[in-house]
Amino acid sequence: MKIALIGYGKMGKAIDAIATAKGHEVILRIDADSQHLLEKEQLGQADVAIEFTTPETAYHNVLKCFEAKVPVVCGTTGWLEKLPAIKELCSKYQGGFLHATNFSIGVNIFFEVNKKLADLMAAQPQYNVWMEEIHHTQKKDAPSGTAITLAEQLLGAVTRKTNWVNASSEQPETLSIISKRIDPAPGTHTITYTSAIDDITITHTAHSREGFAAGAVTAAEWLTGRQGVFSMRDVLNL
């Protein structure tokens, strides 16, 4: 594939290394100093774009991909309120769009485990549930997109919880998400069900960015040539 990388920070560089090692060609590396490369003439030469930038710029970047008729894999989090509009634009432009809060294969399996455990615990009101997530200090959003996905899955099954907050809460209907920023942690998510008798805990710990980057490249390979709105569940057939 010919790949356009939109966002060339630590994640973009990790994706570059993995994509190149797999035989793909990165033809554009777009950062804050090379925004002019987002125009149709340059961007349109790519088979697929992979976007990891900021919540403030993701919408604009994805729209530019649609205009250039380039399918786009987007891993930026913190802009969920604009996703419905992007999905409508994807249909309008007959584009391809794949968004994930986390591209790690392990995390996406963890999502499925989380849903299954939440289903089992829904009928066990003696257990309170809370969440902790740890990332490096450069992480721009809190809670993480992965934590929000996990929280939404929990709220969908454990109906005694009706909302989440990014803080410790004593309210029985509120799911607490505790966010910690500690270097060099690439990402740890822990969900704990606690009762007077025992605790049940599930944890996913990332050891490096490599899993996220490899998953993003796999998603780009899968998306190339497809139209529509997709997720990692489609890529992994979960």
Buried-exposed string 128-140: b where 16+ CB fall within 10 A, e elsewhere:
bbbbbbbbeeebe
Helices (H), 68-209: 83-92, 105-121, 145-157
Q: Could you give the CA distance from residue 62 to residue 144 in angstroms, rounded to a whole number? A: 20
Exactly one of 24, 64, 99, 135 is catalytic; which is it? 135
Instruction: Decide if 180 is catalytic.
Output: no
Q: What angle do CA 232, 193, 166 make, to 5 degrees?
A: 65
Edge-to-edge strand list for the sheet holding 228-230: 25-30, 2-6, 48-51, 72-74, 96-99, 228-230
- The residues, any chain, with a CB within 8 Å of residue 127's CB and separated by 6 or more, are 121, 193, 194, 195, 200
Are the CB atoms for 89 and 216 separated by under 8 Å? no
- Sign of the four-CA dihedral 66, 69, 72, 76: negative
Among 201, 185, 202, smallest CA distance to 139 is for 185
Instruction: Decide if 135 is catalytic.
Output: yes
Exactly one of 139, 161, 189, 204 is catalytic; which is it? 139
Known catalytic residues?
A: 135, 139
